[in-house]
Structure 1
Amino acid sequence: MKITAIALSGGKSSRMGRDKALLEINGETLLSKTSRIALQIADSVYIVARSQEQYQSLKIDSQDSIYLVLDQKFDGALVGFWQGIQAIAKPTDWILLLACDLPNLQSEILQAWARQLADLPKTAIAYLPRHEVNSDEAKKQWEPLCGFYRWQCCDSLMEFIEKGGRSLQKWLDTQEIIAIPNVPSSMLFNCNTPDDFHQYCLKQVSS
């Protein structure tokens, strides 16, 4: 089974006030950590980045397996995902899609999820975590930026975008998705604001 990863770091980081991808934890940028972990699961990583500077911040030995895709649209995660797909040289079996601001990302958990892909129904186009917004079952939402997408999702994704769709959640609502069971909530923590990053660093120091 061939897995290719796409790491999204093309966001404007407006709530953070500076580029989230270049935030450092233990001397390593979030983007570098995301890419390094992705390479432990995938054959190659396509980074959808805002700038060449983000790409140059990477300090990974396997540079031949990392490819830069400059975000030409700045139109959200859905379009960033599509730009990454278009850059992939050859069709793959599964795409591992990751946000660049997941400091608790763990390769062992991602590898365990990847081993389960072969058992999924052929009709399912993604294997994703799901979390509750509130107690209303109808309000459960997918976590689209930390999971796997079957290559065959490309046609419906392109059609959705061509019709003006820009929401990953709304696109996923039209698809057959399998929920990943027992996902550690800490794995999905992301750094959107300076306070998020500060609280994460404090927990690292205390632990």
Structure 2
Amino acid sequence: MPQTNISLSAVLLAGGKSSRMGQDKALLAPKGIAMIRHCFDIAAAVCESVYVVTPWPERYQEILPKECQFVREEPLFGSTETHGPLVGLLQGLDVVESKYEWVLVLACDLPNLRLDVFEGWLNYLVNSPEEMMAFLPKDERGWQPLCGFYRRRCTVLMEEYIKKGGRSFQGWLQTVPVQELPLADRQILFNCNTAADLQQVATDNSPSFG
């Protein structure tokens, strides 16, 4: 881990149905390593602990290290369906130990993540304003909520939003203070949703770890 005074944990979200891919994209390896393992390794390099939130932890236990901690994502209010990444994140944040002020949140399908980018971003967390709830990159679509940092105590605000029926990540982010993280290479945010996306990553010769 980089030497900072930031106490940091990580939550990886692996609850998507991969409907456009036709198979579990977290297990695909366009650069020779399963995408969920690549994201885990990045998170583990900068965080003291890593949690994976998923409805099916059995799928990933063999390819993730023993120190990985799984959180089984559960449906809310008696439903048989999970309710998307915002609810999944809340369930993950709820088990993160209180000693961690900040939590790195990542999707499981980001094959172009680079360690040096996250090491640089850590500097933004140092002495950050107390009211700041998240540090996230942004593009033309808006905030990129599954590739950035959240204050652990944002769970209170997140739970209030969800209890009122809110499920939109972008909608919740509009209700809390968020600061933009700089990103020189937008390919870091590229996620694999289709077979064409997978082929594009597989033919990319850039480093897979950074």
TM-score exceeds 0.5: yes
Alignment of 1:54-65 (within 5 A): 54-60=59-65, 63-64=66-67
User: Which stretches in structure 1 are left out of the alignment for 5+ residues?
Assistant: 134-140
Deviation at 1:59, TM superposition (A): 4.3
1:172 to partner: Cα distance: 0.2
Residue 47 of structure 2, aligned match among 42, 45, 54: 42
Deviations 1:126-185, CA, capped at 9 Å, x for gaps: 00001113xxxxxxx100000000122111001001111101100001111001123420
Q: Normalising by structure 2, what TM-score?
A: 0.87
Matched, 1:70 2:78: no
- Alignment of 1:51 onto 2:56: yes
Residues 160-169 or 71-80, more deviating = 71-80
Higher share in strand: 1
Distance (Å, rounded) in 2 between the aligned partners of 1:183 and 1:101:
20
Which blocks of at least 5 consecutive residues in structure 2 are unaligned?
Answer: 1-5, 76-81
Give, in angstroms, the shift of residue 112 of structure 1: 0.9
Q: Secondary structure at the match of 1:116?
A: helix
More helix by share: 1
CA distance 1:90–1:152, shift in 2 (3 Å): closer
Letter in 2 for 1:100: C
- What SS does the aligned partner of 1:147 have? strand
**Aligned counterpart for 1:17 among listed residues 14, 18, 22:** 22
Cα 1:185–1:26 change in 2 (3 A) is closer
Q: Which amino acid aligns with 1:84?
A: G
- Asked if the contact 2:31/2:111 (under 8 Å) is kept, the reply is no
1:23-60 C-alpha deviation (Å, 9 max, x unpaired) = 11343211111111100111001001231333224243
Map 1:164-203 → 2, pairs under 5 A: 164-203=165-204
* Shift of residue 203, structure 1, vs aligned partner: 2.2
Query: Contact conserved, 1:113 with 1:180, CA < 8 A, in 2?
Result: yes
Provide the C-alpha distance between the structure 1 equivalents of 2:55 and 2:26, rounded to a whole number of angstroms: 10
Q: Distance in 2 between matches of 1:128 and 1:185?
A: 13
The separation in 2 between residues aligned to 1:80 and 1:183, in whole angstroms, is: 29
TM-score, length-normalised on structure 1? 0.88
Amino acid at match of 2:70: L
In 2: Cα distance, 1:182 partner to 1:23 partner: 26
Cα deviation, residue 76, structure 1: 0.4
| Partner Cα distance (1:28, 1:131) in 2 | 27
CA contact (8 A) 2:53 2:71 kept: yes
- Identical aligned residues as a percent: 40
Aligned residues: 195
